């Protein structure tokens, strides 16, 4: 498994665990006034946790790939990145279009903000999954 | 895939050159060499020339178009 495939796994796991935890906690505490107060601290915590976990895991896998960790992506890896990014952008666009509609019909802004965050997280998960699938098959 | 290659045979004829050694000569990862060798990925023209150059043979000795 190449460094970049492992890095895609790291992205999949960190986004899944950190934001899975964030949304699960928020869902359990779903009472609008309470959840809104909780959400800001949780969101900051989730972003900080994401950064720390991603740095630590990427550093660990880089130690096992000293030659390739700092090397630029080759042409196949670049092509895989672009294809995965395209699929992720479609995913995010669908979420954003849906949420624009939700705002226009008067959905709660706090709920829409979190659904927007969920769209971004899902698009990152889709990107990582697409990268892994392409690394395995292309 | 419509492009076939002789990389496995050429590696054998060049002293069992490893995929890693070829990857380093071409400037790609070993996984990319594996994907090319297994006809899962068609390399760019530049990478194809680099592979041929690594074996000191013309391009058509490495890659060929498969009709049909």
ipTM computed for the complex: 0.86
Q: Which residues contact B53 (CB under 8 A, 6 or more apart)?
A: none
Please give the radius of gyration of chain A, using alpha carbons only, rounded to the nearest integer. 17
Mean pLDDT over B50-54 rounds to: 96
Q: Which tokens is A103 given? A: 């705002």
Cα distance between residue A30 and residue B17, in whole Å: 61
Token representation of residue A135: 């690394």
Q: Which helix (H) or strand (E) holds B55?
A: none
Q: Do A75 and B47 touch (CB under 8 A)?
A: yes
Helix (H) or strand (E) holding B63: strand B63-65
All residues of chain A having their beta carbon less than 8 Å from the beta carbon of residue B43 are 75-76
What is the C-alpha separation between A81 and A89, in angstroms, rounded?
A: 12
pLDDT for residue A34: 63
pLDDT given at position B58: 95
Q: Is B29 in Cβ contact with A2 (below 8 Å)? A: yes
Residues 12-51 of B with CB under 8 A from A: 27-32, 35, 40-41, 43-44, 47
pLDDT digits (tens, 9 = 90+) for B23-50: 999 999 999 999 999 999 999 999 999 9
> Which phi and psi (to 5°) does residue B65 adopt?
-85, 130
With a pLDDT cut of 90, the percent of chain A lying above it is 56
pLDDT tens per residue, range A72-126: 889 999 999 999 999 999 999 999 999 999 999 998 888 898 899 999 999 999 9
Nearest to B40 among A68, A75, A138 (CB): A138
pTM: 0.84
If you average pLDDT over every residue of chain B, what do you get? 93
Among chain B residues, CA nearest to A137 = B40
């Amino acid at each position: 498994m190449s460094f970049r495939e492992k890095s895609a796994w790291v992205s999949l796991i960190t986004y899944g665990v950190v934001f899975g935890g964030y949304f699960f906690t928020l869902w359990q505490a779903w009472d609008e006034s309470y959840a809104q107060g909780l959400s800001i601290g949780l969101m900051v915590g989730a972003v900080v946790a994401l950064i720390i976990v991603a740095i630590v895991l990427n550093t660990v896998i880089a130690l096992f790939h000293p030659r390739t960790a700092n090397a630029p992506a080759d042409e196949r890896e670049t092509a895989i990145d672009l294809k995965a990014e395209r699929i992720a952008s479609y995913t995010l666009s669908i979420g954003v279009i849906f949420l624009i509609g939700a705002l226009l019909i008067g959905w709660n802004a706090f709920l829409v903000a979190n659904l927007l965050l969920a769209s971004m997280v899902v698009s990152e998960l889709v990107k990582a999954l697409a990268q892994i699938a392409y690394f395995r098959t292309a | 895939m419509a492009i076939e290659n002789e990389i496995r045979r050429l590696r054998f004829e060049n002293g069992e050159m490893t995929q890693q050694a070829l990857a380093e000569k071409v400037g790609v990862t070993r996984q990319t060499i594996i994907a090319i060798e297994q006809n899962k990925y068609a390399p760019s023209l530049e990478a194809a020339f680099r592979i041929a150059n690594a074996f000191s043979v013309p391009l058509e000795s490495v890659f060929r178009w498969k009709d049909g």
